[in-house]
Structure 1
Amino acid sequence: MKRLISLIPETLEKGLTRANPLVARALWHVRHPTRRGVTKACAGLALLFVLYVLILIPFTPGIGDIRKAKIEQPAQILSADGKLLAEFKPSNREWVKLKDISPNVVNALIATEDHRFYQHFGLDWRRTASAALHTFSGDRQGGSTITQQLARNLYPDEIGRAPTLTRKLKEAITAFKIEALYTKDEILETYLNTVPFLYNAYGIEMAARTYFDKSASELNVLESATLAGMLKGNSYYNPVLNPGRALQRRNIVLAQMVKYGKLTPAAYETLKRRPLRIDFERQTEPPGPAPHFAQQLRKWLAAWADRNDYNLYSDGLVVRTTIDSRLQTMATQAVILQGNQLQGIANAAWGSRAACASGKDLLQTFLRETPDFRAAKDAGLTDDDALKRVSSDRSLVQSVCESKTRVQADFLAMDPRNGQIKAWVGSRDFSQDPFDHVQQARRQPGSTFKPFVYAAAFEAGAKPTDTFVDQPVEIQLTGGEIWRPGDEDEPSERPISLRDGLAFSRNRITAQLMQTVGPNKVARLARAMGVRDSTLEAVPSLALGTSPVTLKEMVSAYGTIANLGGYVEPVMVTRIEDRKGEVLAEFAPAPPQQELSADAARTLVDVMRDVVNRGTGSAIRGRFGVRGDVAGKTGTTQGNADGWFILIHPQLVAGAWVGFNDSRVTLRSDYWGQGAHSALPIVGDFFQRAQRSKLVDTRVKFATEQQPGWFAERSARLREWFEHLLPSPSTVKPEAPVTVRNTTRRAPVATASSERASEGASSDAAASASVESQALPPLLPAPVATSASASAPAFASEPVHGEARGTGTPASAPTPTPDDVVPPDAVNAEAQKSGGNTSP
């Protein structure tokens, strides 16, 4: 091996020695050229050039259809009932035929870009040679024909973008291919429909709409010359940002039209003096009936297409979604109607500059967050001087007020049986606020989180009749802070059942129940039931909804309740087809995962029925007349910053949130700020419309009848058999529960609109929270103790900091419902017999 290596230098030296005479002779011919030698050299160079071109041909684009932008089929998004929801296009383009384009456009284009277009076959040799000479002399010029430009526009990746000889050769070869296969009119039509014009406007039709608010067929000479002039450099000759340059370029185009006989000199002299008349408006794709849903679906579908080697924008995919276009329309109308009403209230509180200025500290905070304030600070002003400057700008102050005080709302409906999303409204107006509040906004859920606490309790063995005493609650937290959850009214020192605690959203009762069950267990259960993306802080105040979540998570979790404990992941798509209708993929609903025991779920549904029958959500029945078996929960956060309501039905779960993008802004109303009056009307309106349209069957009911177990069933039969054989005269029937009825007013207190804001305490729960609750009806009878020391239910629990249990009697008498109105005499007689209290 060493010998071979040592021979390499010797071999190279011998080779150079032998080649030296040949090299010397070649150099001599270069210094002393002859005609024959020059001819041979030129022929050799030409041969090399031809060989290089032949080598490049396989690396140039294969010409299938240059009008592929016309035949490309974007993905179509269809609703479950076959309505078009959206089309996913790569660019904003509308194809028009050449005969539907103004002749002024064609004349201006050819006169400026390629006046021998109809004479050449893709490459204008004279223009190319002229451009080369100017480039070599230092004055770089373009020599591309319209066909070459089309080749570059259609195949930028295959041809390349670098200003090299190879790129120009590929461009010329592709142009020859195009000219060989297509007519001049086809080339012109394709070029005019694919050329970009800034502002996401592709093609002459979108350019005409963007810059002149008219169709391409209506463009006059001046407008056509302006658009043709942009082709030399869209940004440089942008008529919106650079009107002076655009005007100068337009007149050059007009002069070219005169030069090649497309315009008379007299007309040119008149037209060149006219100013630019731009009627600019960005062209946006229509949002469609479910824009936020489509926005989220695009992300999912793009990933699916990449994994399965499909093009989202050209393969003609047909995506069949779970959205019901009828329910989607109803949801959108409900959000707009309630949003507009609440906006009027917000405008009265914040809309004027004076009203906005009444929140002086908050307004100053907003102004300090503006770019104008930062610019003033960067200019060297002090904080106070910068604030004075921006505060004196009335238009700025008004703009800040309007943007900060715009009411937002979102809505989501899904089928709890299969997880199919039926309606999705991410904001009041997609064009003004494309931010999707359904999936992206995380806000405190308030009392809509309470059902998870009760679910954990029922799963641990608690009964709806178990009670806690309505008394002051103080819970010591890690770090030594004391959390004191409160309600609208003062503690009554009376026992309140779990059923009434949830129906009337009693915070002190829920806080005590949370201590009994344990925050960790509640957090785990809520995650299992559907709150799977947001972080839940396992602290006592979690019972009142202090951990921010999304509406999608909450509706999904309530779907688990409606599905009697079976969690089904929300789905958006049922099937994907190709352009021929052949099924590419199907997405069957996932089987339910039993995350909450069926018995606990049945109990929870039954208790949540009372929320809408006589509790904080009673407007669902009274105002909106929603029939059928429904249950739900209201929610309001600290300072009325967020209003929530979620309603469940065996076939449909629907939820809404209302608030502001900035949680520091509220409606400034203890009435309208409550979820029962801000969010509930959206859901109520939606359900009312859905039931009237027979899209929700009011006859369907939850299967909440508790089925006795094997042992209990046989024990009951055995007991009946013994009682039949051995009847006892001393057997005393248990006294029936006393029902107290309202003698002083027609409408029971349960329908009063006194829901209060809640659970706004931060996760550290250091401060006392003013939480959502509704006062219990004053018609509850005085408790009758059954033992000297009645206590809270003793069911499974987890140790927590400051855990405590309330005391009280086993149960309280049922609260009257709207139909429980009887004559006063009957009430008085019943009360006297039972010792009840009939005072209001």
Structure 2
Amino acid sequence: MCIAHLRHPTRRGVVRTLVAIPAVALLYVLLLIPLTPGIGDLRRAKIEQPAQIHSADGKLLAEFRPTNREWVHLADISPNVIDALIATEDHRFYTHHGLDWRRTGSAALHTFSGSRQGGSTITQQLARNLYPDEIGRSQTLTRKLKEAITALKIEALYTKSEILETYLNTVPFLYNAYGIEMAARTYFDKSAGHLDLLESATLIGMLKGNSYYNPVINPERAVQRRNTVLAQMVKFGHLSPAAYETLRRRPLRIDFERQVEAPGRAPHFAQQLRRWLIDWADSNDYNIYSDGLVVRTTIDSRLQAMATQAVIWQGNQLQAIANAAWGARSGCNGGNTDVVRAFVRETPQYRAAKDAGQTDADILKHLNADRPFMQALCDNKTRVQAAFLAIDPRNGQVKAWVGSRDFSTDPFDHVQQARRQPGSTFKPFVYGAAFAQGSKPDDTLVDQAVEIPLAGGEIWRPNDETPPSGRPVTLRDGLAYSRNRITAQLVQNVGPYKVARLARAMGVRDSPLDAVPSLALGTSPVTLKEMVASYGTIANGGARIEPMLVTRIENRKGEVLAQFAPNKPEQALSPAADHELLDVMRDVVNRGTGTAIRNRFGIRADVAGKTGTTQDNADGWFILMHPQLVAGAWVGFNDSRVTLRSDYWGQGAHSALPIVGDFFQRSLRNRMIDPRERFVMEPQTGFFESMRDRLHDWYQRVFAPKPEQKAAPVKRNPPRRTAPPVVAKAPASSSAPQPPILQSPHSEPSDIRDEGFAGLVPDLAPTIDPASASAAP
């Protein structure tokens, strides 16, 4: 029956079918209307209100704009631009109501015949540009219907002038230039109001395909497309044929200058904050680019300026040393030949030549003779990098954040993104774990050769720059003078897993730590932010507070949308153990590897800290603690194969310490921190702590290992009263007192130097991972 009806349809059936098809189509369109964007956002694009980021002292740090865009009114745009746009993209713009039915039908016929052609009006293109996620990007009927519905909604509420203005201010032009104003500046170094006919035609021609008609890299195509635009202007009466014949022969003249956003006072900090703020805004139904949010941060603009100046000053000093060491002015002809060859082999030019069948020797000979190539490669590889972070340990507020020497040249953030070996700055975790177990600063270990068996049959032999003396060294001196052999024995007594666990509890929360003996000397890469936050825990009596960046968020009217209080402290190390650790770290700056803080920078405040240097002087570290501020710096190169090639300048005491010293000197001089402030006095020993100390003494007397055993004995010296911080300035030429067994107290050894080093065996040792970390011991 049904088949018969299909073969012989009745007149009524045909009518029903003809009525049903448009009815179904209409129903489908009606169902799509709620799925199209609300065009009230068009005004939001016109009155864009980017989030403003302010410092704690009220200075503007940054504005979060979605793109490099500057809005200009239609009256301030050259008429040549508007004529070229209308003639090329939508010559019936002023007569249709969002859809050009004639153009749409023509485009459909061409598409069905195999010659695909666009039929979108300017209003449709605007809808697609403003709402790409809501409308979609696929070439489907549903997407075209959504685009058409949105265009009709825009035309119903906005004038033709408003639509043109919004379109020209939101269309992309490559090189981070959005809108006609930034395009005019980028390609012709002028404002949109001064664009002539050829320049206007060139920019409008790019709209068909920005990359394909890019006048910078495809000038021939750009000229052809420009002339097509001029021909369209002739066709629709915007240009005379005679003028066209003259103009089409003109060469393409551009004045290209890539547009970059102003870095602001704290660009790396703002870069990290943007990610957090986007998540917050999404969760609370705000838009960081258009809702006029005002974000009050913890950064102090004065401290930020001091930190930036210190990084630039020291970075320039070290750059001169690096240039001399590597022969940077002549393409690294003074550098390590094998390393330089490795750099060349890693370049795209080398790989392309290799793929073309050239031999390694021929490629190296050719590229080494290319002076511009070698100079650019050397400049990139031997550029000194540096980073700095300062935190208030009392509340976790970040006060200064410098991610590199120059954000425009080095946008990579070495504070939070870079993971580097911390060297001896990791040693306080070892000593803190020991003090938590009952060890005392005056306990001794013998300065002797150390051999620690590892999984797989390997032997780890940590060493110092001076040979073993065979004499007892206190834990206080072991940390003050950064002795590797003493620290290695101590981690053997404590256990590397407990050290890793304490480091995790104190602030190393994101980087995995290999729980192997060499961890004690800082072989597991961490971030500067983690290390400074951990030292903040030490300065805060052993209580960890998560670093915070924002105190509150307001709307454009000043109404508070969100308020953020400091995170609740977490006791990572007992106050008694923390006091002992802090007191020992005072000796680092009073008489150990960090004495330049006292002697060179004249800082007399109550401070404590630690230097750090890694294998071959690849990384230099220094972190200094004050009751009100903890600051740390890292110095190195992006490629760890590059170093300053100096046993003096490569040490953290001479590369990173001056940055922190200069910063603290300025901070104290300007009364940003109180020079009279002191760390909390030693806490009263309670009953349980007293019993623990007695049990520890008894255990040491009964079960202490014999001198001939591999693990060195721990010897308890009579308690001594710790000297207060230095209060009289020492002459610059004077040297700190030296213990009899240490020949070079101010020279810090490379913190992971050893003989037969085999301590980094991650697959043979447990790893403390952030997700599985447990509490402090």
Residue among 474, 484, 489 paired with 1:497: 474
CA distance in 1: counterparts of 2:118 and 2:719, whole angstroms = 102
- Displacement, 1:53? 6.4
1:811-832 per-residue CA deviation (whole Å, 9 max, x = no partner) reads xxxxxxxxxxxxxxxxxxxxxx
- Displacement, 1:397? 2.7
Aligned counterpart, 2:125: 149
Does 2:382 correspond to 1:390? no
Check whether the contact 1:560–1:567 (CA below 8 A) recurs between aligned residues.
yes
Does 2:84 correspond to 1:108? yes
1:685-712 per-residue CA deviation (whole Å, 9 max, x = no partner) reads 1111111222111111101334355799
Does 2:288 correspond to 1:296? no
1:45-93 per-residue CA deviation (whole Å, 9 max, x = no partner) reads 8888877766765665443253331234333332222323233333322
Does 2:380 correspond to 1:410? no
Check whether the contact 1:616–1:750 (CA below 8 A) recurs between aligned residues.
no
Check whether the contact 2:332–2:340 (CA below 8 A) recurs between aligned residues.
no
Check whether the contact 1:546–1:762 (CA below 8 A) recurs between aligned residues.
no
Cα distance change, pair 562–249 in 1 and its aligned pair in 2 (3 A): same
Check whether the contact 1:656–1:682 (CA below 8 A) recurs between aligned residues.
yes
Aligned counterpart, 1:230: 206
CA distance in 1: counterparts of 2:428 and 2:65, whole angstroms = 43
Residue among 559, 566, 569 paired with 2:543: 566
Cα distance change, pair 656–57 in 1 and its aligned pair in 2 (3 A): closer
Check whether the contact 1:230–1:246 (CA below 8 A) recurs between aligned residues.
yes
CA distance in 1: counterparts of 2:720 and 2:625, whole angstroms = 32
Letter in 2 for 1:529: M
SS at match of 1:92: coil
Does 2:394 correspond to 1:399? no
Aligned counterpart, 1:606: 583
Does 2:256 correspond to 1:277? no
Cα distance change, pair 566–102 in 1 and its aligned pair in 2 (3 A): same
Cα distance change, pair 81–389 in 1 and its aligned pair in 2 (3 A): same
Cα distance change, pair 390–204 in 1 and its aligned pair in 2 (3 A): same
- Displacement, 1:472? 3.6
Residue among 665, 682, 687 paired with 1:705: 682
Aligned counterpart, 1:336: 312
CA distance in 1: counterparts of 2:548 and 2:21, whole angstroms = 65
Aligned counterpart, 1:820: none
Instruction: Tell which deviates more after alignment, 489-498 or 659-668.
Output: 489-498
Instruction: Tell which deviates more after alignment, 570-579 or 656-665.
Output: 570-579
CA distance in 2: counterparts of 1:607 and 1:376, whole angstroms = 57
Aligned counterpart, 1:348: 324
Aligned counterpart, 2:645: 668
**Equivalent residues in 2 for 1:511-526, closer than 5 Å:** 511-526=488-503
Cα distance change, pair 121–356 in 1 and its aligned pair in 2 (3 A): same
Aligned counterpart, 1:468: 445
Aligned counterpart, 1:321: 297
CA distance in 2: counterparts of 1:705 and 1:336, whole angstroms = 39
Letter in 2 for 1:420: Q
- Displacement, 1:682? 0.5
**Equivalent residues in 2 for 1:66-465, closer than 5 Å:** 66-124=42-100, 127-128=103-104, 131=107, 140-161=116-137, 171-350=147-326, 351-353=328-330, 355-356=332-333, 358-465=335-442
Residue among 724, 734, 742 paired with 1:747: 734
Instruction: Tell which deviates more after alignment, 591-600 or 171-180.
Output: 171-180
Instruction: Tell which deviates more after alignment, 628-637 or 155-164.
Output: 155-164
SS at match of 1:23: coil
Structure 2 residues without counterparts, runs of 5 or longer: 691-717, 724-730, 739-743, 761-777
- Displacement, 1:511? 2.8
**Equivalent residues in 2 for 1:796-815, closer than 5 Å:** none
1:285-327 per-residue CA deviation (whole Å, 9 max, x = no partner) reads 2222222222222222333333334334333333322222221
Residue among 643, 666, 670 paired with 1:689: 666
Check whether the contact 1:544–1:758 (CA below 8 A) recurs between aligned residues.
no
Cα distance change, pair 758–61 in 1 and its aligned pair in 2 (3 A): closer
Letter in 2 for 1:379: A
Structure 1 residues without counterparts, runs of 5 or longer: 1-12, 31-36, 714-733, 769-840
SS at match of 2:514: coil
Check whether the contact 1:357–1:363 (CA below 8 A) recurs between aligned residues.
no
CA distance in 2: counterparts of 1:21 and 1:701, whole angstroms = 100
Aligned counterpart, 1:628: 605
If you compute each CA radius of gyration, which structure gives the higher value, 1 or 2? 1
Check whether the contact 1:445–1:644 (CA below 8 A) recurs between aligned residues.
yes
Letter in 2 for 1:504: Y
Letter in 1 for 2:216: V
Check whether the contact 1:356–1:401 (CA below 8 A) recurs between aligned residues.
no
Check whether the contact 2:419–2:526 (CA below 8 A) recurs between aligned residues.
yes
- Displacement, 1:99? 1.6
- Displacement, 1:137? 6.0
Letter in 2 for 1:99: A
1:440-459 per-residue CA deviation (whole Å, 9 max, x = no partner) reads 22222111122222222222
Letter in 2 for 1:605: L
Instruction: Tell which deviates more after alignment, 460-469 or 159-168.
Output: 159-168
SS at match of 1:345: helix
- Displacement, 1:549? 1.7
CA distance in 1: counterparts of 2:259 and 2:177, whole angstroms = 7
1:158-215 per-residue CA deviation (whole Å, 9 max, x = no partner) reads 5555556665555455444433332222122111112222333221112112211222
CA distance in 2: counterparts of 1:511 and 1:306, whole angstroms = 49
Cα distance change, pair 220–747 in 1 and its aligned pair in 2 (3 A): same
Cα distance change, pair 607–254 in 1 and its aligned pair in 2 (3 A): same
Check whether the contact 2:461–2:755 (CA below 8 A) recurs between aligned residues.
no
Cα distance change, pair 145–630 in 1 and its aligned pair in 2 (3 A): same
Check whether the contact 1:468–1:509 (CA below 8 A) recurs between aligned residues.
yes
Letter in 2 for 1:572: L
Check whether the contact 1:606–1:704 (CA below 8 A) recurs between aligned residues.
no
Residue among 742, 762, 766 paired with 2:758: 766
SS at match of 1:600: helix
1:783-814 per-residue CA deviation (whole Å, 9 max, x = no partner) reads xxxxxxxxxxxxxxxxxxxxxxxxxxxxxxxx
CA distance in 2: counterparts of 1:622 and 1:222, whole angstroms = 66
CA distance in 2: counterparts of 1:648 and 1:43, whole angstroms = 82
Check whether the contact 1:470–1:509 (CA below 8 A) recurs between aligned residues.
yes
1:365-405 per-residue CA deviation (whole Å, 9 max, x = no partner) reads 22222222222322233444444443343333333222221
- Displacement, 1:563? 0.6
SS at match of 1:584: strand
CA RMSD of aligned residues (A): 3.6
Does 2:9 correspond to 1:23? yes
Aligned counterpart, 2:560: 583
SS at match of 2:259: coil
CA distance in 2: counterparts of 1:122 and 1:697, whole angstroms = 66
1:505-549 per-residue CA deviation (whole Å, 9 max, x = no partner) reads 223333333333333332222222122222333333332222222
TM-score, scaled to structure 1: 0.78
TM-score, scaled to structure 2: 0.84
Aligned counterpart, 1:720: none
1:473-499 per-residue CA deviation (whole Å, 9 max, x = no partner) reads 444444444433333333444433332
Check whether the contact 2:205–2:213 (CA below 8 A) recurs between aligned residues.
yes
Check whether the contact 1:618–1:750 (CA below 8 A) recurs between aligned residues.
no
Cα distance change, pair 493–593 in 1 and its aligned pair in 2 (3 A): same
Cα distance change, pair 617–170 in 1 and its aligned pair in 2 (3 A): closer
CA distance in 1: counterparts of 2:650 and 2:676, whole angstroms = 33
1:3-37 per-residue CA deviation (whole Å, 9 max, x = no partner) reads xxxxxxxxxx4x777x589725579xx9xxxxxx9
SS at match of 2:265: coil
Instruction: State how many pairs are aligned.
Output: 721
Identity of aligned residues (%): 73
